[in-house]
Amino acid sequence: MIAFTVVTFVAAFLAAAALPAVTADARPDLPAVLVSRQLAAHAGLRTGDTVTLALDATGSGAMRFRVGGAYEPTPDPMRFTARRLEARMHLPDLNAITASPSDPGSVESVKAVNVRLADPNDAAAFASALAARAPGIFARPTARTRDGPDPFVVLERFHLAVATVTVLGSTAFLLALMTMRAEERRETVGIIRLIGVSQRSILMGVLVEGLLIATSGAVFGILVAVAAQGAINRFFQWRYDTALVFVRVTMSIALRSIMLSVPLGIVAGLVGAWTLLRRDLPALIRR
Amino acid sequence: MNAWALARRTVAHNPARAVLAVTGVGVIGALLFNMLLLSRGLLVSFRDLLDTAGYDVRVLAAQGSMVHREPIAGATALANAIGQLPAVERVALVRTDSAVATVPGRQTRGVTVTLVGSTENAIGGVWDIVKGSSLPLVSPAGSPPPLIVSTGMASQLQLEPGASLQIRVTLPGVASALPAIDCRIVGIGHFTFESSDEYTVATTMEGFAAVHGAEDRDSADLVLVASRSDAGPSAAAAAIALLRTDLRVYSNDQVLEQFNQNAFSYFRQISAILSSMTLAFAFLLVATLLTMSVNQRLGEVAALRALGFPRRRIAANLLCESALLVGTGGIAALPLGGVLAVALDRILRGMPGVPARLHFFVFEPRTVLLYAALLGATGVLAALYPIWLAARLPIAATLRREIIS
């Protein structure tokens, strides 16, 4: 069963249209229009105001509407830098404004039709069949493919590359710190070896200690990321006046971070311990 | 022995630790260098693209945005009027549309192309001819429209100058389809603004009208203007703006500013965030490394103080140690950063619609200076806490503790 959406929205000509905000009494006989939050703030509009919408600044096709309310536009990551000065109205009202007297078909013209299929898996086949039956029609599924020309796939690869480089750099530092830490314990380890504790036991101790420190560090890192997520989102939402979420630390991302950082931390600790345990006893306890 | 010599000996005393620390600084420094390159790379590269095209003023219809614009009516008269302005040297009209190109006689599906109609036919303008000839100034009546195809398209479809190509314009929003028109390839060229995921085909304005069903609309999507060198783009733009008030006139600088505020702002800001985080990361790690190093050598520092070394000398020694680690790592980061920049640039240029000649990471000498200044400041700040630790330690108590332990 195919359901057609009957409400569409206007963006382009609204920027050129005159929108006098007349704070007159509410005119229930006028058709209603919803304005975006940004447009309401920009033009000083309130619910009940009467506005005039036209195709251009000269006022062609002008019609008066009653502001029925304000809405938050669905955030669009492809247009997050654009000012969302938009309005929504019923399709017959939009067609009445944009209709051309010389083109009778313009009263029934739309730019896009949204279709919901009974079986979403038929999207590709349906799009192909529709394009074949109606020349000049572009039909495509709304679901994004994970490969092919997608800017967000490219950005994901970029961020992954940056994260990989960061992990490599921090691993080098981690190894340096663990080596220094192991060197600090040289005498202590020598004395423990002297009193009979085996290398295996010392290694297990280092392993458990490394696991605790790495896990604590990973959890702390996740908490810092969550805090930074809030700050970054608030900043960019303020900067671009949008409700778009720019950073989101999901459970999957947190688990992946922990699964990468904990083994790295343990391995770094073991490498540091190995530099110590490979030495013979006199070298450990030398002063 | 001066502070530098002592610092060198201290670092060389534990080579494994030094190598690891320098490696860490090098990798993080490479990332910092890349983020600084990214902060202005797009701007610099886009400016180069605009300047290479040979035009420094762009005229658009007032309706629409920089990317999606309404056609300019009366384009021929407008071009003539602009060409007569004293500040203007050259004018070109441009129209663009989507089309499907097919090679006659082949069963393969056509490729989607951007069809560009232009009065521009001189070499070194919006495209550079690499094979064949440029668009003719006048085409014989009845002859197939001449085309210049991009090198990528020529390679993909194995096209040569003289070959035939069928062009069918796609008209979205119209319940009709135009027939395919036979055209002839006269040249193959590099298009300045062609992206890696689409092909560009250029033709004359008459050819553009022919593939649209010979409808001569006398309109243009864009008017390109080259100003006289003695007048400059600002004077040309101001003069053009007075001609028609229904048009928007932009100099290259203004186009850059628009893109900088909108399209490029994401990369500028991500660069700022990642640069800041990288610097904080480097500061934290170098400070931790130096602090642990000082803690391991408290006895040594106390002994030096007992011998008469002033606090200033101890601080200078630690500062030199920090400079050695950060400086060596920072220098090693430059070639590493260059390699990383090539890799990251290749990733980002995979974005659809990005001109193949646009680069995200562009080297500028000022970037190296900024990088050196930031890393240097980080090295100095990271050394402050260990210096404070070493400077304030009680000599006698420290020596006693060392002897007892």
Same domain, B74 and B22: no
Q: Any CB–CB contact under 8 A between B30 and chain A?
A: yes
> Contact, B185 vs B159, CB < 8 A?
yes
Å between A98 CA and nearest CA of chain B: 14
> Contact, B288 vs B279, CB < 8 A?
no
> Contact, A219 vs A259, CB < 8 A?
no
The reply to whether residue A169 touches residue B27, judged by beta carbons under 8 angstroms, is yes
pLDDT at B148: 92
A167 neighbourhood in chain B, CB within 8 Å: none
CA distance B343 to B309: 49
Q: Any CB–CB contact under 8 A between A243 and chain B?
A: no
**B109 in any annotated domain:** yes
**B275 in any annotated domain:** yes
Q: Any CB–CB contact under 8 A between B172 and chain A?
A: yes
pLDDT tens, position by position, A207-222: 888 888 888 988 999 9
Same domain, B176 and B217: yes
B62 neighbourhood in chain A, CB within 8 Å: 16
Residues linked to residue B187 through DSSP beta bridges, in sequence order: B132, B148
B171 neighbourhood in chain A, CB within 8 Å: 136
Same domain, B234 and B88: yes
CA distance A194 to B82: 94
Same domain, B231 and B364: no
The reply to whether residue A170 touches residue B24, judged by beta carbons under 8 angstroms, is yes
Question: Domain range holding B70?
Answer: 63-245
B178 neighbourhood in chain A, CB within 8 Å: none
CA distance B355 to B50: 12
Å between A60 CA and nearest CA of chain B: 14
- Compute the count of residue pairs across chains A and B with CB atoms less than 8 Å apart: 108
The band of A4, judged by pLDDT with boundaries at 50, 70 and 90, is very low
The reply to whether residue A154 touches residue B64, judged by beta carbons under 8 angstroms, is no
The band of A27, judged by pLDDT with boundaries at 50, 70 and 90, is low
B16 neighbourhood in chain A, CB within 8 Å: 179, 275
> Which of B177, B197, B269 lies nearest to residue A136, judging by beta carbons?
B177
- The HSE-up count of residue B229 (CA atoms within 13 Å, CB side) is 1
The reply to whether residue B27 touches residue A161, judged by beta carbons under 8 angstroms, is no
The reply to whether residue A165 touches residue B20, judged by beta carbons under 8 angstroms, is no
Same domain, B222 and B272: no
> Which of B20, B26, B262 lies nearest to residue A175, judging by beta carbons?
B20
Mean pLDDT, residues A22-37 taken together: 73
The reply to whether residue B174 touches residue A166, judged by beta carbons under 8 angstroms, is no
pLDDT at A17: 45
Same domain, B8 and B98: no
Q: For residue B399, give the H/E element and its range.
A: helix B395-404
DSSP string, A263-282: HHHHHHHHHHHHHHHTS-HH
B269 neighbourhood in chain A, CB within 8 Å: 236, 239
End-to-end CA gap in chain A:
85
Same domain, B19 and B129: no
**B255 in any annotated domain:** no
Task: Report the 10 Å Cβ neighbour count for B67.
Answer: 9
pLDDT at A213: 84
> Contact, A242 vs A74, CB < 8 A?
no
> Contact, B75 vs B118, CB < 8 A?
no
A132 Cβ contact list (under 8 Å, min separation 6) = none
Instruction: Answer with the one of B212, B245, B278 that is the final residue of a domain.
Output: B245
- Mutation for B interface: A180, A279, A285, most B CBs within 10 A: A180
CA distance B395 to B303: 8
B198 neighbourhood in chain A, CB within 8 Å: none
> Which of B177, B296, B343 lies nearest to residue A180, judging by beta carbons?
B296
Residue A193 is given by DSSP the state H
A168 neighbourhood in chain B, CB within 8 Å: 27
Residue written as token pair 């990214």: B38
Residues 363-382 on B with a CB inside 8 Å of A are: none
Nearest to B224 by CA among B64, B80, B60, B63: B60
The reply to whether residue B348 touches residue A158, judged by beta carbons under 8 angstroms, is yes
CA distance B315 to B383: 9
Residues linked to residue A59 through DSSP beta bridges, in sequence order: none
**Closest chain B residue to A11, measured at CA:** B64
From residue B328, give the alpha-carbon distance in Å to each of B19, B23, B25, B293: 10, 9, 8, 18
**B280 in any annotated domain:** yes
Task: Report the 10 Å Cβ neighbour count for B309.
Answer: 15
From residue A209, give the alpha-carbon distance in Å to each of A174, A206, A278: 15, 5, 19
pTM of the model: 0.79
**Closest chain B residue to A16, measured at CA:** B63
CA distance B386 to B403: 23
From residue B329, give the alpha-carbon distance in Å to each of A180, B12, B377: 19, 15, 14
B265 neighbourhood in chain A, CB within 8 Å: 81
- Mutation for A interface: B285, B342, B401, most A CBs within 10 A: B285
**A248: phi > 0 → left, psi -120 to 50 → alpha, else beta; which?**
beta
Task: Report the 10 Å Cβ neighbour count for B265.
Answer: 15
CA distance A175 to B16: 10
> The dihedral of CA B284, B286, B291, B293: what is its sign?
positive
The two tokens of residue B251 are: 């100099």
Residue A107 three-state SS: helix
The reply to whether residue B31 touches residue A169, judged by beta carbons under 8 angstroms, is yes
CA A34 vs. chain centroid, Å, equals 26
**Closest chain B residue to A153, measured at CA:** B351
Same domain, B238 and B163: yes
B329: buried, middle or exposed (CB in 10 Å: 19+, 13-18, 0-12)? buried
Same domain, B45 and B81: no
The reply to whether residue B281 touches residue A166, judged by beta carbons under 8 angstroms, is yes
Task: Name the residue ranges covered by the structural domains of chain A.
Answer: 7-112, 151-285
Residue written as token pair 């302005």: B85
The band of A28, judged by pLDDT with boundaries at 50, 70 and 90, is low
The more confidently predicted of residues B310 and A26 is B310
Q: Any CB–CB contact under 8 A between A135 and chain B?
A: yes
The reply to whether residue B31 touches residue A166, judged by beta carbons under 8 angstroms, is yes
The torsion angles phi and psi of A79, rounded to 5 degrees, stand at -130, 30
Q: Which alpha helices (DSSP H) does chain A contain, by range?
A: 37-43, 91-98, 123-133, 151-184, 186-194, 199-240, 251-277, 281-285
CA distance B69 to B58: 12
pLDDT tens for chain B, 405 residues: list them: 788 888 888 888 888 888 888 888 899 999 999 999 998 898 899 888 888 878 889 998 876 655 566 788 888 899 999 999 999 998 989 888 888 898 888 766 778 899 998 887 654 567 888 888 888 877 777 889 999 999 989 988 899 999 999 998 876 655 556 788 899 999 998 888 888 778 999 998 888 888 887 666 688 888 999 999 898 899 999 999 888 888 889 998 888 888 887 778 788 888 888 899 889 888 988 898 888 888 888 888 888 888 888 888 888 888 888 888 899 999 999 999 999 999 999 999 888 888 888 899 999 999 999 999 999 999 999 999 999 988 888 888 888 887 776
> Contact, B223 vs B163, CB < 8 A?
no
pLDDT at B329: 92
A276 Cβ contact list (under 8 Å, min separation 6) = A182, A183, A185, A186, A189, A284
**B258 in any annotated domain:** no
A155: buried, middle or exposed (CB in 10 Å: 19+, 13-18, 0-12)? middle
Residues 97-156 on B with a CB inside 8 Å of A are: none
Same domain, B230 and B374: no
Q: For residue B345, give the H/E element and its range.
A: helix B311-348
Residues 238-267 on B with a CB inside 8 Å of A are: 261-263, 265-266
> Which of A134, A155, A173 lies nearest to residue B24, judging by beta carbons?
A173
The band of A243, judged by pLDDT with boundaries at 50, 70 and 90, is confident
B92 Cβ contact list (under 8 Å, min separation 6) = B55, B79, B118, B119, B120, B125, B126, B223, B224, B225
Q: Any CB–CB contact under 8 A between B388 and chain A?
A: no
Task: Report the 10 Å Cβ neighbour count for B160.
Answer: 11
pLDDT tens, position by position, A84-119: 899 999 988 888 888 777 777 777 777 788 889 998
Å between B92 CA and nearest CA of chain A: 27
The reply to whether residue A82 touches residue B262, judged by beta carbons under 8 angstroms, is yes
**B57 in any annotated domain:** no
Q: Any CB–CB contact under 8 A between B179 and chain A?
A: no
pLDDT tens, position by position, A110-160: 778 888 999 888 888 888 888 778 766 777 777 766 555 678 888 889 989
Residue A103 is given by DSSP the state -
Same domain, B27 and B137: no
CA distance A43 to A37: 10
Q: Any CB–CB contact under 8 A between A180 and chain B?
A: yes
Same domain, B301 and B239: no
β-pair type (B146-150, B199-204): antiparallel
A239 neighbourhood in chain B, CB within 8 Å: 269
Å between A173 CA and nearest CA of chain B: 5
Q: Any CB–CB contact under 8 A between B296 and chain A?
A: yes
